[in-house]
Copies of this chain bind each other. A is one copy, B any other.
Amino acid sequence: MSEHNYPSLKDIRSAHERIKHMIHKTPILTCSTIDRMAGCQVYFKCENFQKVGAFKARGAANAVLKLSAKNREKGVATHSSGNHAAALARAAAEAGIPAYIVMPSTAPEIKKNAVLEYGGIITLCAPTLASRESTLAEVVVRTGATFVPPFDDFNVIEGQATCALEMWDEKDDFDAIIAPVGGGGLLAGTSLTTHYMGPHASVYGGEPEGADDAYRSFTAKTRLPVLTPNSIADGLLTSLGKLNFEIIQDYVAGILTVSDSEIIAAMRLIYERMKIIVEPSCAVPLAALLKYPDQFQGKQVGIILSGGNVDLSKLPF
């Protein structure tokens, strides 16, 4: 246990105060059809309605707003081809500072445009981790910008933890909360907040079978990377971060894995019954709930719908 290093409840509340002018307090929705199917009461926290379309807006805003005055003017930098890049570009734009985003040359136009739209400065690199890291290092040296990692960072985790804080502030009797797990920023933050706000409740990670490093790491009690991730849940292909894994080991009850076909079925259910748009990663917790219903029967279950950035011309149904 390294609890003493972790963000405290006071830290998480301060983060929420700090970022709340930059984020939406997203609604919690329910669906009686899904309740019947799952045999429990399900409360969907809609981060797909969040700024930039994902919970990532929280961590990025917190990291930017916690910069010292001296560091702030030099801006922030990251490498990402996903929601974190857009979230950081937006947070920086709101704070009036530059954001340097290293993106692989193969990143889809739509992702590049999202960053450009928020005023981010893109440096392209080769589509390898080595190139991403060396290019980022060069950008940081050249600009003096502060690197804001996508998940393996206490400021980012503290920001993501504000999502569950809003859930507990709105409803104080969850028996369980399920969040998707990729790098582990959201899951770690959710489990921290729940440890403080509802220690009787169990937090679970939902993970695609094709990128199940969190499941394997959790079982082996040692961090094992994902080698050849393959899943439709494109936001969950990364390996768990170090800090994230520590927190998850301390406060998460279990990792539930699901297949791509189960993810697609849950995604379709959300579209058809809830009339909201979620990205595939976002459907993983519901898929897990429907696959492992026994432990949730009759319970009050929170599910975090993490994001809604999906290419509508490529829906899997």
Q: A27-B27, A317-B313 are in contact. Are A275 and B277 (CB under 8 A)?
A: yes
A276 at the interface (CB under 8 A from B): yes
- Of all chain B residues, which has the CB nearest A305? B275
Closest-CB distance, A314 to chain B (whole angstroms): 11
List the number of copies, as a whole number: 2
**Number of residues of chain A lying within 8 A (CB) of chain B:** 18
Contact B313 A275 (CB under 8 A): no
Residues of chain B contacted by A53 (CB below 8 angstroms): 275
* Closest B residue, CB atoms, query A117: B33
Q: Which residues of B are found within 8 Å of A271, using beta-carbon distances?
A: 277, 312
Interface flag for A308 (CB, 8 Å): yes
Does residue A3 face the partner (Cβ distance < 8 Å to B)?
Answer: no
Q: Which residue of B lies closest to A275 (CB)?
A: B308
CB contacts (< 8 Å) of A48 on chain B: these are 275
Contacts of A27 in B (CB 8 A): 27
State whether the Cβ of A170 lies closer than 8 Å to any Cβ in chain B.
Answer: no
Q: A268 at interface (Cβ–Cβ under 8 A)?
A: yes
List residues of A whose CB falls within 8 A of some B CB.
27, 29, 48-49, 53, 268, 271-272, 274-278, 308, 312-313, 315, 317
* Closest 8 pairs (CB-CB, A-B): A275-B308, A275-B277, A48-B275, A276-B276, A271-B312, A49-B275, A271-B277, A313-B317
Apart from A272-B312, A275-B308, A312-B315, what are 18 other A-B pairs with CB-CB below 8 Å?
Answer: A27-B27, A29-B49, A48-B275, A49-B274, A49-B275, A53-B275, A268-B312, A271-B277, A271-B312, A275-B276, A275-B277, A275-B278, A276-B276, A276-B277, A277-B277, A312-B317, A313-B317, A315-B315
